[in-house]
Structures are given as C-alpha cells and as structure tokens.
Structure 1
C-alpha cells in the first residue's frame, strides 16, 4: 500500500471515530447559579466572564468563577471549543490580573461533581461541565 493511501486511511479512521463519539464526550455546558438572571450570552461575554474581566452580572451580583485544573481534559476542550482560547492563555490572563492587583484568580475545583456543588451553592457562580445532570441545582447558560 502506498504511503499516501495509508495516510488517507488513517485520517478516515480518525474522522469516523470523532463523528461516532458519544455527544456527551464532545459537549460542554456552561453552568451558572440559579439566581443569575442571564439565560444566554455571546462567546465574547463568556470569555469576559471566565477571564474575570466582567466582574458582575447585569443584576449586580458579583461573578464567581470555578474551573477545573489546567491539565484536565474537559478544561482543555472547554477552553478551546467554547472560549476559543488555549488553557495557557486563560492562565496568563488570570495570573496577570492576580499579580497586578487588578483581579483575582478563579477557584479551582477537583472534579465535575465539586463544580456542580460549588456553582449551585455560590450566588453569582459560573463554571462548566460535560453535561448538566437531571435534577441538578444549576442552570445551563446558552453560549451563542
């Protein structure tokens, strides 16, 4: 088999694997505390909230950001697909604000379960999960 045919076959297999992956593995949901009065935000607004450049919600409640560790696969996918940023770019923004005294870093959580609990119990909170489980005490936020 020629090398180009092997490459084409390998690319086809990878594409098929991505297309047949369960949707839950590809989706990420932005979640907020139920008291946040917003139901839809733009991608740019999501970036501004999660980089702590927008510090309050429209109703005046302070924004509290929760994130998974930088190396977490969900954090990497969320940063890339929803925010259009690499995790190191997010970290750079947070560190710059923290070290300059103009802001604070987000609160890191260890798991999606902790993310759900912290967002549900913290007024003004925003975070992300693979998908929102039925009966969760958080509200999904549509990013368009």
Structure 2
C-alpha cells in the first residue's frame, strides 16, 4: 500500500511539472503571444514574428507531455489539434507538424533545426535550446 501511495505521489508531481515552449537558439524571439503559439502549433502560422520559417515538432499522440502541453499551454485538447492537422492535410491546404517519439529526440531536433519550435520538461532543458515565454 505504501508503494502505491509513493507511486501516486510521484505521478501527481510529474503531472504538475511545467512543460516549456522551446525553440532553436537562432530564433530571434524571446516571448510570443498565446494566440501566436496556438496558430503555430495548429500549423496556421508558418513563420516566427521576425519572418523566419517555423518548423514545428510535437510528441506522439497520447504522450503525457504532449497532452500536458496542449491542455496547459494551448488551452485546447489534443484531439482538437489533431483535427486541425488532419483537415489541413486532407484538404491540401497545409501540413501536420513533425512528430518525434521522445523528449530526447525532441531536444535534438529543436537544437539542430533552424526555426524549430517544440516543448520539453525541465530535465531536458540546456543551452542548446531556448525557452520562449508565452505572454
């Protein structure tokens, strides 16, 4: 019983851990509006405010960090975002973001892709990626 209580406490703490919006260090933006972030992740806005092309990376559907980011930072549900991507792809008017399988892969892709945008938990942050504030 004690093991379950410790596991439940650790799980609850992990679910409360913030998920940070991150970008390639060459992106010239330090803060961005929530509406702009939502538009970028919905693949409606394809450029950073300075005109640099944005390359959006997301974790796979069902990944707990993806769900926390979408719900907590974009104020949406993951299925709503997926519907927007599917609509754009099937109508021929857009594309879906690049999917990655883990936070380690997300970190590597954002760190090495100019204009990249993604999200990570604290343990994956370092000087190779830039945290972007959401206003």
Report the counterpart of residue 21 of structure 1 in structure 2.
13
CA contact (8 A) 1:67 1:107 kept: yes
Q: Does 1:125 align with 2:103?
A: no
Report the counterpart of residue 76 of structure 1 in structure 2.
67
CA contact (8 A) 1:132 1:140 kept: no
Give unmatched runs, 5+ long, in structure 2.
Answer: 1-8
Larger radius of gyration: 1
C-alpha distance in 2 between matches for 1:27 and 1:38: 20
Distance 1:57 1:132, change over 3 A: farther
Give unmatched runs, 5+ long, in structure 1.
Answer: 1-16
C-alpha distance in 1 between matches for 2:90 and 2:131: 32
Report the counterpart of residue 100 of structure 2 in structure 1.
109
Distance 1:66 1:134, change over 3 A: closer
2:38 to 38, 47, 50: 47
The secondary structure found in structure 1 opposite 2:132 is strand
C-alpha distance in 2 between matches for 1:75 and 1:133: 14
C-alpha distance in 1 between matches for 2:126 and 2:36: 27
- Paired positions, count: 127
C-alpha distance in 2 between matches for 1:133 and 1:95: 29
CA contact (8 A) 2:60 2:101 kept: yes
